[in-house]
Amino acid sequence: MPTGYGKVIILLAFFVGIFFQAQTNRYIYELRLKMDSTDHDYQKYHMILDIGKDETKFYGRDLLISDSINKKFGNLESKHVDMTGQIIKRKTGSSTNENFLNIKFDYYTYSTTDPIHWEIDKETKKFNNYIVQKATADFGGRQWIAWFSTEVPLNEGPYKFTRLPGLVFEIYDDKNNFIYKLVKNEKLLKNVDTNDFLESNFGNKAVKVNEGQRRKLLMDFYNDPFSFERTNLANKQDLNINIGGNQVKNVEELNAQVKTMQGIISKYNNPVDLNKAIKYK
């Protein structure tokens, strides 16, 4: 159980009549995660779980904010690249997920089947005004502890944590690498249009790949994360290449930047699905 975390005031106005009229039930979770499992500090994100009649989607709130800005001003100037690796959608109540992934300038989608075999415990506790019940599971190479409430009869939760007999209010792994806490909910009377930032990434439509292709794309990026810049340098199309604030004028300087980036990729290789982590050489 995570410690040192202040009490979060949650406004969960749940009325059965309103619930069944709403097109989308939106739940906002605070996600704290360690990009590197050896870190002491957490990165913090606010993630949105949109539960519709037919589809459930999970994505970062910053994606929605950027999309809202673009729609307000009629352009694509505001863009956001997800850093959590947790953009997904599925048929509501399903264990089959469509995953979305940025790799540098490109955007991909791939499908996974993610059944979770929960063990429901008798232990309960109060989560503000709700009674939540404990459940545990081994999923994605991690041991998870979830707290769900049958008072909110939705068999959904953040990321892929679905199929419990009530909404997941809180979930974390036993190493406290990933901690999700419900902080807010909204009732939306119309379906949410995510086509511009989830199914595509601000004009960059997702390309469908399989698991083998996903792994190869990530390895190719690791082996040469600046292949685009390398091509421009070789063709002398761009002699003012800037990487991380450093001017790169020749192949030797570019190779030094590659080694630096490879170190960063290897260090921050702590995906929530640990069993699918790439073993970088």
Cα 119 to Cα 133: distance, rounded to the nearest angstrom: 11
Cα 122 to Cα 112: distance, rounded to the nearest angstrom: 31
* Tokens matching residue 276: 């699918």
Over residues 36-50, mean pLDDT: 96
32 confidence band (pLDDT: 50, 70, 90) = very high
For the domain covering 16-201, report its CATH number.
Answer: 2.50.20
Contact 135, 121 (CB under 8 A): yes
Residue ranges per structural domain of the chain: 16-201, 222-276
Which residues does 235 contact at the CB level (< 8 Å), separation at least 6? none
Q: Which long-range contacts (CB under 8 A, 24 or more apart) does 77-82 make?
A: 79/201, 79/202, 80/197, 80/202, 81/201
Q: Number of C-alpha atoms within 13 angstroms, CB side, residue 10?
A: 21
Cα 31 to Cα 215: distance, rounded to the nearest angstrom: 25
Amino acid at 76: L
Amino acid at 132: V
Local structure of 15: helix, strand or coil? coil
Rounded (10°) CA dihedral 166, 121, 98, 223: 150
Measured between alpha carbons, how far apart are the two ends of the chain, in Å? 34
Rg over CA atoms, the chain? 21
Quote the pTM value. 0.89
Contact 249, 239 (CB under 8 A): yes
User: For 207-254, how does the pLDDT look when each residue is reduced to its tens digit (9 = 90+)?
Assistant: 999 999 999 999 999 999 999 888 888 877 656 788 888 888 888 999
User: For 152-175, how does the pLDDT look when each residue is reduced to its tens digit (9 = 90+)?
Assistant: 999 999 999 999 999 999 999 999
- Supply the pLDDT for residue 19: 44
pLDDT of 277 above 50: yes
Which segment of 10-14, 67-71, 184-188 scores lowest on mean pLDDT? 10-14
* Tokens matching residue 154: 């939705």
Which residues does 109 contact at the CB level (< 8 Å), separation at least 6? 98, 99, 100, 101, 199, 206, 207, 208, 209
Query: ∠ at Cα 114 (110, 120), nearest 5°?
Result: 155
Farthest-apart Cα atoms in the chain, separation: 67
Q: Which of 2-11, 78-87, 108-117, 182-191 has the highest mean pLDDT?
A: 108-117
